[in-house]
Amino acid sequence: MIEQDDNFSLRPIKFENFIGQEKIKKNLKIYIEAAKNRNESLDHILLFGSPGLGKTTLAKIIANEMNYKIHIINGASIEKQGDIASILASINPGEILFIDEIHRLSKTIEEILYHAMEDFKLISLSKNNNEVSPINIQLPPFTLIGATTNIGAISTPLKSRFSIIEKINFYETNELKKIIMNASYILKTTINDDAAKMIAIRSRGTPRTAINLFKRARDFANANNSLIITKKIVETTFANIKLNKLGLYDSDIEYLKTLASRFHYKPVGLKTISHAMGEDIKNIEEIYEPYLLRINFIDKTPRGRTLTDKGIEFLKTQNIKDND
């Protein structure tokens, strides 16, 4: 069964429809089965990997397979002790708490989570009428699923509270093609085999990108009164959204040019790049860099980001001058 999420995406709600990540699916199915047989809550799970690889989808599938409600929150939106305390207090036995971007939680909130994860206890200091009083409440057993794009930013004490840690990998072209074919089936727009492959190749190993590119191609097809996405339509789409053969957008090329021309190929720190490009650090770390690292165009060194020989070769094809 696939849930159709109106304004956003097509999200599988069963393992069978979740393409790829075979080892992770196999492991998770075993843990789920074992927890069900023991009649216990599932152990806490940490999922890490780049944006759009399916962490939220997997968390929802796990909840669905366990047959329990999932509470979804974002680490960045939990600021006060009271925020996390009221969420924890609202969880019923066996339910799942999914915290996306868990690396963005503050130290104080993390500490509340340690107790909740380990002993199912809610221990915090609450402020009532300006008086500080400690809370100590027994919580029902529940499962925390944390997701992060930045495993390095998770503190060791928090990480050690997760007994299951899984890395979500980038997808192969044939897996992305299957995801595109599924989208085409659900959205009732036929796509030719070679056209689907073309989109898969430029999807940067990421299902979210594959689905978004498929939707753009569908727009171009529909605008031409066509219900079939052909290779030609995909080519037109890529030309219009300026996506090159390697799956690079103008903004990625801008990043590479910044390293080359502004900093004369020397290692550059993240903050400096962000400042020079006028781009958010988060976007640089989560959108530009993972793919550029993967295709071996840049390197992360202790002294900063550098272009690799392959990156430099590519820039030569883009007519980069030293003071461009």
Residues that bind ligand ADP (CB under 6 A): 9-12, 18-21, 51-57, 147, 179, 207-208, 211
208 flagged as catalytic: yes
CA 201 from chain centre, in angstroms, equals 19
- The whole-angstrom separation of Cα 300 and Cα 77 is 29
- The whole-angstrom separation of Cα 248 and Cα 252 is 6
Q: Kindly give, in sequence order, each residue whose CB lies less than 8 Å from that of residue 22, ignoring residues fewer than 6 positions away.
A: none
Burial (CB count within 10 angstroms: exposed 0-12, middle 13-18, buried 19+), residue 303: exposed
Catalytic one of 56, 57, 143, 148: 56
Min dist. Cβ of residue 49 to ligand ADP (A): 6
Alpha helices by DSSP H, listed for the chain, are 22-38, 55-66, 81-89, 107-119, 156-160, 173-186, 193-201, 207-223, 231-241, 250-257, 270-277, 281-283, 289-294, 309-316
Q: Two tokens at 233? A: 């339509």
56 flagged as catalytic: yes
Q: Is-contact 19 175, C-beta < 8 A?
A: yes
Min dist. Cβ of residue 147 to ligand ADP (A): 6
Nearest to ligand ADP of 173, 306 (CB atom): 173
Nearest to ligand ADP of 171, 314 (CB atom): 171
Catalytic one of 60, 208, 218, 257: 208
Q: Is-contact 44 145, C-beta < 8 A?
A: yes
- The whole-angstrom separation of Cα 41 and Cα 47 is 18
299 flagged as catalytic: no
Nearest to ligand ADP of 27, 261 (CB atom): 27
14 flagged as catalytic: no
Min dist. Cβ of residue 314 to ligand ADP (A): 27
219 flagged as catalytic: no
The alpha carbon dihedral of 206, 252, 235, 241 has a sign of: positive
Nearest to ligand ADP of 56, 143 (CB atom): 56
Min dist. Cβ of residue 17 to ligand ADP (A): 7
Q: Is-contact 213 200, C-beta < 8 A?
A: no
**Can you name the residues that pair with 190 across neighbouring β-strands?**
228
Catalytic one of 60, 100, 218, 237: 100
Min dist. Cβ of residue 154 to ligand ADP (A): 16
Nearest to ligand ADP of 11, 104 (CB atom): 11
Q: Locate tokens 């080519």: which residue?
A: 235
Range 123-158 burial, b when 16+ CB lie within 10 A, else e: ebeeeeeeeeeebeeebeebbbbbbbbeeeebeeeb
Catalytic one of 57, 143, 149, 209: 149
Min dist. Cβ of residue 54 to ligand ADP (A): 3
Nearest to ligand ADP of 13, 320 (CB atom): 13
Catalytic annotation, residues: 55-56, 100, 149, 208
